[in-house]
Amino acid sequence: MRFAWTALALSVSTVSAGPILFSIGGNDFGQPVRVTSIDVGASTATPLFDLQSDTAGFSGLTYRALDNLFFAVEFDGTDSTLVSISPGGGGAFSPVMTLVDPSSLVPLAFNGGLVYDPNDGYFYAMANDSQGRSNLYRIDSVGMTVQRLTTELPFSFNGGITLNPDGTIDAIRNDADGNSIVYKFTLSTNSAALSLLFGSSIGTGFYGGLAFGDDSNFYALGSDIFGAAAIDTINDGNANGLFGVGNGFLNAGLTEGPSAAPEPSTLMLAAGALAILCGFQKFRRKQ
């Protein structure tokens, strides 16, 4: 009996020891624009598909479960466009809406991160202007509106944003020396209040994205001066390097996504454990 329960527990525990994250990167260090799966439990990074574009850059990455789609921001050097990406679409993407702030006096690039909030149905994105100032925006993809929530923050947020379970939007700012600092935005109907999430820098070079995993850990993608990237946990403001994921992850895009199905070997092990357990219980009843 004890053996059967042990085998069953082992089979379940092998399904995942951490979240499966997804990132968008490329057009950097010779890498194509691609979506990559990062399995924290298995310590692996697996390229899924290259996006079908030779010229445009992409930043931010988020997932909407209700229609099983990724979303990112395409930037062609002039305009930012919210696009949808099917996980099984082989790299094809479709425009959703152009992102523009008519009140801005200088050009904007929505390149600081993107997240979807399933609680209110809105996207949130960070935009940066040519003078290094940022603003957080609420995006209504149904009403096709873009609402600015802040007033020209005096520094640049370009490391990614994520939705915290407490309802705040958390974001990474990188200063002129490359120090990465995490802030939070407390949302209201027409504005967002800024405050520090952690009291000090989490390190340097965190430009690849920020995500809050279903295991209640913060994850961030950082890169060294050669473009080599690694996934870190950053709980309590302390970065803890986990494993390398490759080059080209400088696009402020990290998110959870479609849940992975258990491997066939895992399912067979679980089935075997259950068969042993059921057989043992039948034997006990006969006694």
Give mean pLDDT, residues 140-162. Answer: 94
Q: Coil, strand, or helix at residue 279?
A: helix
Q: pLDDT digit string (tens) for 81-136?
A: 999 999 998 899 999 999 999 888 888 999 999 999 999 999 999 999 988 899 99
pLDDT in tens, 22-49: 998 765 556 678 899 999 999 999 999 9
Distance CA 137, CA 132 (A): 16
Is it the case that residue 11 has pLDDT exceeding 80?
Answer: no
266: alpha, beta or left? (left if phi > 0; alpha if psi -120 to 50):
alpha
Q: pTM higher than 0.95, yes or no?
A: no
Q: Is the distance from CB of 125 to CB of 114 less than 8 angstroms? A: yes
Residue 142 is predicted with a pLDDT of: 97
DSSP class per residue in 167-222: S-EEEEEE-TT-EEEEEEEEE-SS-EEEEESSSS--EE---S-EEE-TTS-EEEEE
Q: Given pLDDT bands bounded at 50, 70 and 90, which one contains residue 261?
A: very low
Describe the crossing of helices 264-286 and 2-13 by its angle, rounded to 10 degrees: 160
79 or 286: which carries more pLDDT confidence?
Answer: 79
Q: Is the pLDDT of residue 254 over 70?
A: yes
Contact status, residue 108 vs residue 100, Cβ threshold 8 Å = yes
